[in-house]
Structure 1
Amino acid sequence: MQRYFVRNFEDNRFYISDDDRHHIVKVMRLQVDDEIYCVTKGKSALCRIEEITDQQVVAKVVKWEEASVEMPIQVTIASGLPKGDKLEWIIQKGTELGAAKFIPFTASRSIVKWDEKKAFKKVERWNRIAKEAAEQSHRHIRPEVHQPISLKKLVELSENYDYKLVAYEESAKQGEASVFSAVLKKMKAGQSILIIFGPEGGLTEEEIALLNDAGFLSCSLGPRILRTETAPLYALAAVSFQTELMG
């Protein structure tokens, strides 16, 4: 059943407009009395369409869902700006895997240079991808996609997290295999973690030193070197396994 993130909620009813209204009426061709799921403020409800107008769809709550599908810990993925549509892939699949937030950043080896003139449309598209992926995977929270920032600014934002890791391929080459696992085992429900991944060329030694000085732990994601678009997904799957499937 189709699911929508809706901001306007009042008197036990959701008021759905703009693109989502178009999707309900023109794409799904739903009618009055058809049912959909609506999500607001981390809660999801089964709803019945009560009214359809040229401006909006009104859906009345039938029953609130009690079970949560969100990870017990909040995971933020920080990616050095990669080439092409790789960031879109990370956002889409990362949302399906449970990420709470995405923060792109400019790294020394980022081939892509951030164009401030195109910033608004880019960030708007990334957030739309996150919204659609969250609806498809039945999330109760739509992850936020931050506009790209500098590594220095990322370090400043990192002060708000309980745990901070940076995936570093040199750690993998040296056989380090315990930091990531140890951190996940220590984390408790409700805590947060920020994990940084470099662009295609990786992070420089100077960038790693800066992050280590700011309290980031360098970690390996196993003996194999992963692509910049693969590493975040591996990490999210590992977090899910440790916190949701290990019991």
Structure 2
Amino acid sequence: MQRLAIAPSQFQNQQIILTAEQQHYLSRVLRLRDGDRFIAMDGLGHWWLAKLEGNQAQILEPILQPNTELPVAITLMAALPKGNGFDEVVRYSTEVGVVAIVPLVSDRTLLNPSSGKLERWRRIATEAAEQSERQIVPTILDPVPFATALSLAKDKNYICVARGDSPHLRDCLQNKDFAGSGDSPNPQSPIPNPQHPSIAIATGPEGGWTAAEIENAIASGFQPVSLGRRILRAVTAPLVALSLVAAAFEDEKIVG
């Protein structure tokens, strides 16, 4: 059954007030007609069976779905690549299971994104969450300098580096001891505090991190890690790193 992400503000008295874009998507793209049913998801873990009624939809009943989320809350901090490469980063990282994406402006970042880019990334994340049957839609923050992002450190923090003798991320993830995990509420953080233990993964730009950036990350509690002997593109490294995390924790029950 088709899925549609709905903002919580669109729910009114067992009705969903559809936007013009959503009406077009349901009727023109999905070819649904009045009376057809679809799944409405609020991006916060709740799903409902809904019936299309013109420019609205009637909520029929809540749906209990199997948990599709990882038992760790992953925040991806990715340096912005040139061109439209960050579109791919957002789409694939959403499918893999991140809860938040922080676009980074690093010392070697070439892209200066407009406000329209941020809106596009959030739309891509919503579409990817619908397609992959995620229970939540990842939060995408405004682009920030890397030094600012370091203050968003989680329970475990890794910065991916291309060269050197850093341990492989896979090996670091073998130790799943998250004792004392679960972020204490931080009202200063724009990222929702997860109920699960949390991991931050930082990936660099074309040309890699500067030595100063790596030093600052280490001072902020980030562990340098390798993704292998090959040099990965700025749009490939996030997917490789997130896939390693997902593979390590997909079926795990973390004891804190």
Q: Distance in 1 between matches of 2:173 and 2:95?
A: 25
Q: Percent identity?
A: 31
Q: How does 1:131-142 map to 2 (within 5 A)?
A: 131-142=126-137
Residue 108 in 1 paired to residue 110 in 2?
no
Equivalent position amino acid for 2:34 in 1: V
> What residue is the counterpart of 1:39 in the other structure?
41
Q: Distance in 1 between matches of 2:217 and 2:202?
A: 9
Moved more, 57-66 or 74-83: 57-66
User: Quick one: structure 1 residues 235 and 178, their matched pair in 2 at CA, closer, same or farther if it must change by over 3 Å?
Assistant: closer
- Could you tell me how far 1:128 is from its partner in structure 2? 0.8
Correspondent of 2:119 among 124, 129, 138: 124
Q: Tell me if structure 1 keeps the 8 A contact 2:50–2:57.
A: no
Cα root mean square deviation, aligned: 2.1
> What residue is the counterpart of 2:230 in the other structure?
224
Residue 58 in 1 paired to residue 57 in 2?
yes
- Could you tell me how far 1:193 is from its partner in structure 2? 1.2
User: Quick one: structure 1 residues 137 and 194, their matched pair in 2 at CA, closer, same or farther if it must change by over 3 Å?
Assistant: same
Q: Distance in 1 between matches of 2:119 and 2:171?
A: 32
> What residue is the counterpart of 2:168 in the other structure?
177
- Could you tell me how far 1:5 is from its partner in structure 2? 1.0
Equivalent position amino acid for 1:153 in 2: T
Residue 17 in 1 paired to residue 19 in 2?
yes
Counterpart secondary structure, 1:128 = helix
Equivalent position amino acid for 1:47 in 2: A
Counterpart secondary structure, 1:236 = helix
- Could you tell me how far 1:147 is from its partner in structure 2? 1.6
Structure with the largest fraction of helix = 1
Equivalent position amino acid for 2:41 in 1: V
Q: Tell me if structure 2 keeps the 8 A contact 1:75–1:99.
A: yes
Q: Distance in 2 between matches of 1:98 and 1:178?
A: 17
Q: How does 1:158-177 map to 2 (within 5 A)?
A: 158=153, 161-171=154-164, 174=165, 176-177=167-168
Moved more, 25-34 or 9-18: 9-18
Q: Tell me if structure 2 keeps the 8 A contact 1:77–1:195.
A: yes
- Could you tell me how far 1:32 is from its partner in structure 2? 2.4
Equivalent position amino acid for 1:6 in 2: I
Q: Tell me if structure 2 keeps the 8 A contact 1:25–1:31.
A: yes
Give per-residue Cα distances to partners, 1:192-239, cap 9 Å, x unaligned: 111111101000111100110111111112233222111111121111
Q: Tell me if structure 1 keeps the 8 A contact 2:169–2:244.
A: no
> What residue is the counterpart of 2:68 in the other structure?
69
Moved more, 36-45 or 208-217: 36-45
Q: Distance in 1 between matches of 2:211 and 2:18?
A: 49
Moved more, 60-69 or 89-98: 60-69
- Could you tell me how far 1:93 is from its partner in structure 2? 0.9
User: Quick one: structure 1 residues 16 and 180, their matched pair in 2 at CA, closer, same or farther if it must change by over 3 Å?
Assistant: farther
- Could you tell me how far 1:28 is from its partner in structure 2? 2.1
Equivalent pairs, count = 235
Q: Tell me if structure 1 keeps the 8 A contact 2:166–2:224.
A: no
Q: Distance in 2 between matches of 1:196 and 1:222?
A: 15
> What residue is the counterpart of 1:78 in the other structure?
77
> What residue is the counterpart of 2:203 in the other structure?
197
- Could you tell me how far 1:10 is from its partner in structure 2? 3.7
> What residue is the counterpart of 2:184 in the other structure?
none
Q: Tell me if structure 2 keeps the 8 A contact 1:180–1:219.
A: no
Is there any run of 5+ residues in structure 1 with no aligned partner, and where?
A: none
- Could you tell me how far 1:101 is from its partner in structure 2? 1.3
- Could you tell me how far 1:175 is from its partner in structure 2? 6.1
TM-score of the pair, normalised by structure 2: 0.84
